[in-house]
């Protein structure tokens, strides 16, 4: 706009501003003109701009505003808005609709199909292709484009370069050529280089080859130095501190950003807000005025951090209190059975029976918790219950049980619903030491429905009764497991890599599955079963504890153990299978598979008496073994009684071990001719009674004080090697028609002078041989080379 109607004259100032002054100023200065009134001063010669001149407060400025064509283009020839100025303005980037052009009227003209008749347009390839009918019509005759095929759309496609990585396609020879390597050995390379995969590369000298090459840099807060086995460079492991801790280089420690506090309840009403640290709140209840610090009205809030409440209780009067945001509840019950409500303990995640010596019952937790069992005296119960129906809301409720040197009689886990439901899954995790829980009772494990018990950890663990569980999975356990499960369910039992014992009671049948894993594992059963019918793996030992017959046909255990006071039969046992007899036993029968077959004339059974400091005492009971020629008895742990041997085909009994051993041979042992106890060691003594056998025999005693009897066989000859101990040899059945020979070791095996084996207290009872009763020959060390007769007169 024009600022005034006067005539103006302008002149340009060096500041690039334009000023206009009235015409009368021409008298004072010449050459001043007003550019706003001079034609064409603001014209930029561009028809596509609108030119104007503006004067404001004496200053004039030109403005050249582009013409707004609203999505079209301005034609610089006439300033008109048009669709295009050149062909490129019309290109839509599509190949198959042809090339667009700009017409004489500056309007776009559509293109035409670029392909000829019989061709198809391939938009992706920007090409016209001939439609195909089969693969042959697509072959382009080139090797290096690969194989051509005709697709369902009638278009040809190629598989591409047929050569592998590192190969070059040779179209002239139709081959894939492997370029010659730059080198074949280090000698082909320059200094400081080596030949690697056909190429010369610079030799990289590693910073390290092992952690020992990376010395400690003396800094704590960058972690431990070690050798990266990929880059062979020394590196630090980084900040050694956990989240919430700050690394302190001065003290080489990780400092808690929220330090812990120890808070002690009083016998007054305590209102505690413990703050952000990992705090400990300690309370007691002992029935006294000063000792009842867990009081009605106490209100504890752990707020942030991971907090623990330690309660030591000796009086069963713990009141209900409010406790929130305290994650752990550790309770020690001492000298009194303790039970109290935890219904208002919100936020507890872990509860513990903490080294108590009496029963503890924690009731009505509002949420599921992990259960810890720490030590104990083996006589007490720990019960944890949850709010109504908390364990009956969904399938798969899980409770974790962590054992730490636990010794507990019974662990009970329920909710407070009408049916006292238990968890579907109990995870028992071993922390440290050896743990024992005699009985686990929970809703699903004790009711009609079976649950799952998982066992993990590397500790030795005894679980006495797993109730009605249908799955016991200890396959991840690495310690020794001793588990008992005796229910009528179809049970699957798996144990891990330890030496495990699986006790099945009287309910083992062919519907149960056992996989004992690795280690030396044992199944203990009171069931009459045929092992071949069971689904069993990884079981090396079988223990029979009932008055039952266990058939071992087509199985070869490493050992069979017989225990208890019952008449037990081990049937169809593989030859050379070792036996162990433990405890006070009933009649025990061992039938060896194939021992009675024609040509089987040299069968042997080895029986160890006693195990784990428990003696085997068959006593007056029979040990029945048919069709076996040699029996090896081993006496260990305590003095053992081998009972009455009924072994018709047995010719030889060898006795070894380091504990006393006694056995009698029944008249049915008609083939027994040799009993050799000379292999016994230490202070072990033998008590051998062959008074009922009717065949000639040889008995060899130990180096200690033995008792040997061959009574009641008037026509039987016996050779007895008593040894150097003070032996009692009973020849009460000898008559004038029998020959009883006592051979001292010095004579029998030339070990020394006869005087060495004649010791005080050697006695030989000869019965009525000399027409008097109770004749006894005593060997006196004083005589050494002579025998003295004492005829009781």
What are the pLDDT digits (tens) for 13-47? 223 333 344 433 333 333 334 555 544 678 888 88
Domain assignment present for residue 456? The answer is no
Q: Is residue 637 a part of any domain in this protein?
A: yes
Last-in-domain residue among 29, 61, 91: 91
**Cα four-point dihedral sign 324, 326, 328, 330:** negative
DSSP 446: H
- Least confident interval from 49-58, 111-120, 502-511, 724-733: 724-733
Let me know if residue 488 belongs to a domain.
no
In a domain, residue 672? The reply is yes
Neighbours of 208 (CB within 10 A): 19
pLDDT: which is higher, 44 or 410:
410
**pLDDT score, position 308:** 96
User: Could you tell me if residue 631 is inside a domain?
Assistant: yes
Q: How far is CA 282 from the centre of its chain?
A: 36
| Number of domains present in the structure of the chain | 3
Range of the domain at 25: 1-91
Local confidence band at 394 (pLDDT 50, 70, 90 cut-offs): low
List phi, psi (to 5°) of 756. -65, -25
Kindly tell me if the per-residue pLDDT of 783 is higher than 70.
Answer: no
Percent of the chain clearing pLDDT 70 (strictly above): 85
pLDDT average, residue stretch 401-424: 90
Q: Which of 51, 73, 91 is the last residue of a domain?
A: 91
3-state secondary structure of 138: helix
pLDDT tops 60 at residue 493: yes
Least confident of 248-252, 509-513, 659-663: 509-513
Segment 326-342 mean pLDDT: 96
Contact between 766 and 731 under an 8 Å Cβ cutoff? The reply is yes
pLDDT band at residue 443 using 50, 70 and 90 as cut-offs: low
Q: Is residue 395 assigned to a domain?
A: no
Tell me whether residue 311 is in a domain: no
Predicted pLDDT at 36: 55
Contact present, 213 and 207 (Cβ < 8 Å) = yes
Q: How far are the Cα atoms of 115, 206, 210, 295, 463 from residue 218, in angstroms, in the given order?
A: 77, 22, 19, 52, 49
Q: Which helix (H) or strand (E) covers residue 455, if one does?
A: strand 452-457
- 554 versus 747: which is more confidently predicted? 554
| Span 428-434, average pLDDT | 94
Instruction: Give the CA diameter of the chain.
Output: 187
8 A C-beta contact, residue 701 and residue 680: no
State the pLDDT confidence band at 787, using cuts at 50, 70 and 90.
Answer: very low
Q: Please tell me whether residues 82 and 214 are part of one structural domain.
A: no
| Sign of the CA dihedral running 147, 148, 153, 155 | positive
The reply to whether 613 and 745 lie within a common domain is yes
Question: b/e per residue, 375-387, with b = 16+ CB within 10 A?
Answer: bbeeebbbbbbbb
Residue finishing a domain among 59, 91, 123: 91
Cβ 539 vs Cβ 561: under 8 Å: no
**Domain match, 606 and 723 both:** yes
Query: Count of CB atoms within 10 A of residue 463's CB?
Result: 25
Q: Give Cα 509 to chain centroid, integer Å.
A: 29
Q: Per-residue pLDDT for 434 more than 50?
A: yes
pLDDT at 363 over 90: yes
- Please check whether residues 216 and 83 belong to one and the same domain: no
86 plus 193 within the same structural domain:
no
Examine residue 449 and state whether it is found in any structural domain, yes or no: no
In this structure, are 65 and 188 located in the same domain?
Answer: no
* Average pLDDT of the residues in 100-111: 91
pLDDT of amino acid 601: 83
One domain, residues 659 and 768: yes
- Considering the domain architecture, whether residues 207 and 71 belong to the same structural domain is answered as no
- What is the C-alpha separation between 595 and 669, in angstroms, rounded? 16
């Amino acid at each position: 706009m024009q600022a005034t109607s006067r005539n103006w004259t302008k002149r340009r100032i060096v500041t690039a501003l334009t000023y206009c002054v009235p015409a009368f100023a021409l008298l004072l200065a010449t050459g001043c003109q007003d550019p706003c009134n001079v034609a064409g001063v603001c014209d930029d010669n561009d028809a596509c701009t609108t030119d104007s001149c503006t004067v404001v407060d004496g200053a004039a400025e030109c403005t050249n505003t582009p013409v707004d064509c609203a999505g079209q283009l301005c034609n610089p020839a006439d300033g008109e808005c048009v669709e295009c100025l050149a062909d490129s303005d019309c290109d839509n980037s599509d190949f198959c609709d042809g090339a667009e052009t700009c017409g004489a009227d500056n309007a776009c003209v559509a293109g035409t199909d670029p392909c000829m008749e019989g061709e198809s347009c391939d938009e992706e390839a920007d090409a016209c292709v001939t439609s195909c009918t089969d693969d042959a019509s697509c072959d382009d005759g080139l090797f290096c484009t690969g194989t051509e095929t005709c697709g369902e759309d009638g278009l040809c496609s190629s598989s591409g370069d047929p050569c592998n990585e590192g190969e070059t396609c040779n179209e002239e020879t139709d081959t894939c050529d492997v370029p010659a390597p730059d080198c074949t050995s280090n000698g082909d390379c320059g200094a400081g280089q080596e030949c690697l995969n056909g190429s010369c590369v610079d030799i990289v000298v590693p910073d390290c080859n092992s952690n020992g090459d990376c010395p400690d840099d003396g800094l704590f807060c960058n972690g431990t130095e070690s050798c990266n086995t990929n880059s062979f460079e020394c590196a630090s492991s980084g900040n050694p501190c956990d989240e919430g801790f700050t690394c302190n280089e001065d003290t080489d420690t990780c400092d808690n950003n929220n330090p812990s506090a120890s808070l002690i309840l009083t016998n007054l009403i305590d209102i505690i807000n413990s703050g952000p640290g990992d705090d400990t709140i300690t309370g007691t209840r002992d029935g006294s005025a000063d000792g009842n610090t867990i009081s009605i009205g106490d209100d504890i809030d752990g707020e942030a951090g991971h907090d623990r409440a330690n309660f030591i209780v000796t009086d069963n009067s713990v009141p209900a209190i409010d406790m929130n945001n305290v994650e752990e509840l550790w309770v020690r019950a001492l000298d009194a059975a303790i039970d109290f409500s935890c219904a208002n303990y919100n936020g507890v995640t872990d509860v513990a029976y903490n080294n108590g010596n009496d029963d503890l019952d924690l009731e009505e937790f509002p949420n599921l918790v992990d259960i810890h069992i720490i030590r104990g005296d083996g006589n007490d119960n720990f019960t944890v219950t949850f709010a109504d129906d908390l364990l009956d809301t969904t399938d798969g409720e899980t409770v974790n049980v962590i054992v730490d040197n636990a010794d507990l009689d019974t662990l009970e886990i329920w909710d407070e619903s009408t049916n006292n439901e238990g968890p579907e899954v109990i995870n028992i995790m071993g922390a440290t030491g050896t743990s024992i829980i005699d009985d686990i009772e929970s809703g699903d494990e004790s009711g009609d429905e079976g649950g799952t018990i998982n066992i993990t950890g590397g500790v030795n663990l005894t679980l006495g009764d797993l109730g009605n569980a249908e799955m016991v999975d200890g396959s991840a356990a690495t310690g020794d497991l001793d588990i008992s499960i005796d229910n009528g369910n179809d049970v699957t039992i798996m144990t891990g890599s330890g030496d495990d014992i699986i006790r099945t009671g009287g309910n083992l049948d062919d519907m149960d599955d056992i996989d004992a894993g690795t280690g030396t594992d044992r199944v203990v059963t009171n069931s009459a079963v045929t092992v071949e019918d069971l689904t069993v793996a990884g079981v090396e030992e079988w223990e029979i504890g009932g008055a039952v017959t266990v058939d071992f046909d087509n199985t070869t255990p490493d050992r069979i153990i017989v225990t208890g006071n019952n008449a037990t039969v081990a049937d169809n046992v593989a030859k050379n299978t070792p036996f162990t007899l433990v405890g006070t036993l009933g009649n025990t029968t061992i039938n060896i598979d194939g021992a009675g077959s024609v040509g089987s004339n040299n069968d042997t059974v080895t029986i160890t008496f006693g195990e784990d400091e428990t003696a085997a005492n068959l006593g007056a009971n029979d040990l029945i073994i048919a069709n076996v020629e040699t029996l090896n008895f081993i006496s260990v742990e305590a003095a053992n009684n081998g009972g009455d041997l009924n072994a018709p085909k047995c010719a030889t009994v060898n006795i070894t071990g380091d504990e006393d051993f006694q056995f009698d041979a029944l008249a049915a042992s008609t083939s027994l001719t040799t009993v050799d106890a000379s292999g016994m060691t230490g202070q072990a003594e033998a008590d051998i009674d062959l008074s009922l056998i009717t065949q000639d025999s040889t008995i060899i005693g130990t180096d200690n004080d033995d008792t040997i009897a061959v009574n009641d066989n008037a026509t039987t000859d016996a050779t007895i090697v008593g040894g150097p101990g003070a032996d009692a040899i009973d020849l009460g059945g000898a008559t004038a028609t029998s020959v009883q020979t006592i051979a001292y070791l010095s004579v029998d095996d030339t070990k020394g002078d006869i005087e060495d084996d004649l010791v005080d207290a050697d006695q030989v009872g000869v019965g009525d041989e000399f027409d008097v009763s109770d004749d006894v020959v005593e060997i006196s060390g004083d005589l050494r080379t002579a025998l003295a007769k004492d005829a009781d007169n």
